[in-house]
Amino acid sequence: MELVILDTAEEIASRAADVIESLLNEKPNAVLGTATGSSPLPLYDELTRRCADGRLSFKDVTGFMLDEYVGLPEGHPERYATFMERNLRSRVDMAPGALHGPDALADDLEQACADYEAQMAAAGYCDLQILGIGVDGHIGFNEPGGPLDSATHVDVLTEQTRSDNARFFDGDIDAVPTHCLTQGLGTIMKARKLVLIATGANKAEAIAHLVEGEITPDWPATVMQNHPDALVLVDHAAASLL
């Protein structure tokens, strides 16, 4: 695992965008795994700029989202499909319909998870997966305690995650869904390259476990230590417990 500590969120975004740009130069029809949360937003801004400048194109890219809330109706601003459409897909030249996510509106959620895993497998999984990290060490929405080799599944959000994400729901924790669909840790680990972004002191404990802790389901991101090509981009605050 390669750790890079940078001064600002913009430098982190630029470094991550460089990695994506070189992938797309090499493989214009790459499969890209996208993440939600606030951490990747500067990266999506940078990718939008580079696309407008003609430095890169998403014309032939297929995208797979990491996760989705259960219980939010179509078009809800915090639904991750809406988030990704707003913050990346509609801003670059990616084809409508080329960014996929697990169907959290399905009647049979287990089947929706199996279908999503099969769809990713058919696409050969991701060439590059963008990741944020939860305060409790989750990646995607793989909360602590689950198996390290899981496939796409239904997960239950922890109180910590629901309270962290309440800021997107007018501060109302009761408005934050209790369940989600998420790529499993095993799914994420099948990506050829992982790029994790974390900023701020509230991520310092999770980053310390990720980089220096033992591999354990208690800190799900630690499974990345087993990945042959993982890049962790953090600011000084997120690195402060290393």
Residue 132 interacts with ligand GLP (CB under 6 A)? yes
Catalytic-labelled residue, pool 136, 155, 164, 235 = 136
Q: Which of 35, 70, 126, 188 binds ligand GLP (CB under 6 A)?
A: 35
Instruction: Please report which helix (H) or strand (E) contains residue 194, including its range.
Output: strand 193-198
Q: What is the rounded distance in angstroms from the CA atom of residue 49 to the CA atom of residue 72?
A: 30
Q: Are 195 and 184 in contact (CB under 8 A)?
A: no
- Nearer to ligand GLP (CB atom), residue 24 or residue 65: 65
Residue 116 interacts with ligand GLP (CB under 6 A)? no
Q: How many CA atoms lie within 13 A of 225 on its CB side?
A: 16
Catalytic-labelled residue, pool 46, 143, 155, 235 = 143
Q: Which of 134, 137, 146, 220 binds ligand GLP (CB under 6 A)?
A: 134
- DSSP secondary structure code for residue 73 in this structure: P
CB neighbours of 164 closer than 8 A, spacing ≥ 6? 134, 135
- Nearer to ligand GLP (CB atom), residue 127 or residue 136: 136
Contact flags string 40-79 toward ligand GLP, x per CB under 6 A: --------------------------xx------------
DSSP 22-38: HHHHH-TT-EEEE--SS
Q: What is the rounded distance in angstroms from the CA atom of residue 139 to the CA atom of residue 121?
A: 19
Relative orientation angle of helices 41-52 and 9-26, to the nearest 10 degrees:
50
Residue 39 interacts with ligand GLP (CB under 6 A)? yes
C-beta of 26: minimal distance to ligand GLP in Å?
26
Count of residues near ligand GLP by CB under 6 A: 14
179 is catalytic: no
138 is catalytic: yes
Closest among 216, 36, 15, 22 to 134, alpha carbons compared? 36
Q: Which of 16, 31, 32, 37 binds ligand GLP (CB under 6 A)?
A: 37
Candidate ranges 22-30, 82-90, 107-115, 133-141; the one touching ligand GLP (CB under 6 A): 133-141
Catalytic-labelled residue, pool 68, 127, 138, 235 = 138
What is each CA distance from 226 to 7, 132, 213, 214, in whole angstroms? 27, 18, 12, 11
Q: Which residues are catalytic?
A: 67, 136, 138, 143
Which parts of this chain interact with ligand GLP (CB under 6 A)?
35-39, 66-67, 132-134, 140-141, 161, 165
